[in-house]
Structure 1
Amino acid sequence: MSELIVMMIILLPVGLYFISIGWRIWKKEQITLIHDYHYTIVAEKDKKSYTEKVGKSCILIGIGMILWVIIDFVSKASYGWICFGIFFVWGLVMIFKAQKKYNGGV
């Protein structure tokens, strides 16, 4: 039980941080929150859709972290790992696709 509490103390704020960063990248189009190497070649006309995709990806990863903690807390089993894995891979695939499409590669 103490492991779960430590996990909650660490992962909930990290998940909320990812959601916050994703929101700022997506809705406020703060492309500078992404490392400049990743957006140097992105055309000005594509920045809105690029930030939308990367921001949504960060939000997905954050949601996965939060669901991981909630599911593990409720179920007292490690099923949250599966949920986190799905959301994490989904988010990474979206980021890689956006990088390839708008920046010419990872």
Structure 2
Amino acid sequence: MFLFMTILMGLLGILFIFLGWRLWKKEQITLIHDYHYTKVVEADKKAYTEKMGKAMILMGIGIFLTGLLCFLTDSAYGWIAFAVCFTGGLAIMIHAQLKYNHGIF
């Protein structure tokens, strides 16, 4: 069971990291649903995609570490990494949404 969770969480973490990198470095704003960036001014799109991408990378690291730590320690310590990284990434995303899109939706 732990091996399946490790593989699943590892792949999901890598996917989040890859998508976050595409958002941040390639500024591929279309990875986000269009209603999340409809009010973002063209001049702010670079900063918006940077924050959203970094937040997604942070979430991906947390997901990846969850699977790895649960496998290595055979305990639930990995979920602490998940909670910290996912909550931090979500807070950064909400802040970026409020700052650049002037609302969550």
Q: TM-score range by the shorter chain?
A: over 0.9
Q: Counterpart in 2 of 1:65?
A: 63
TM-score normalised over the length of structure 2: 0.96
Number of residue-to-residue matches in the alignment: 104
Unaligned residue ranges in structure 1 (runs of 5+): none
Q: Does 2:20 match 1:22?
A: yes
TM-score, normalized by length of structure 1? 0.96
How far the C-alpha of 1:6 sits from its partner, in A, is 1.1
Task: Give me the whole-angstrom Cα distance separating, in 2, the residues matched to 1:76 and 1:8.
Answer: 11
The CA deviation at 1:10 is 1.3
Indicate the SS of the match to 2:23. helix
CA-based RMSD: 0.6
Query: Once the two structures are superposed, what CA deviation does each residue of 1:35-69 show, in whole Å capped at 9, x if it has no partner?
Result: 00000100000000000000001100100011111
- In structure 1, the partner of 2:40 is 42
Residues 28 and 49 in structure 2, CA contact (< 8 A), matched pair in contact too: yes
Distance 1:9 1:74 in 2: 13
Q: Which deviates more from structure 2 when the two are superposed, residues 6-15 or residues 93-102? A: 6-15
The alpha-carbon deviation at position 71 of structure 1 amounts to: 1.1
SS at match of 2:7: helix
Contact 2:24 2:49 in 1 (8 A): yes
Tell me the residue number matched to 1:95. 93
Q: Distance in 2 between matches of 1:85 and 1:32?
A: 27
Mapped to 2, the partners of 1:94 and 1:77 lie a distance apart of: 28
CA deviation after TM superposition for structure 1 residue 23, in Å: 0.2
Q: Distance in 2 between matches of 1:40 and 1:49?
A: 15
Which residue identity lines up with residue 84 of structure 1 in the other structure?
A: F
Moved over 2 A (4+): none
Q: What percentage of aligned pairs have identical amino acids?
A: 53
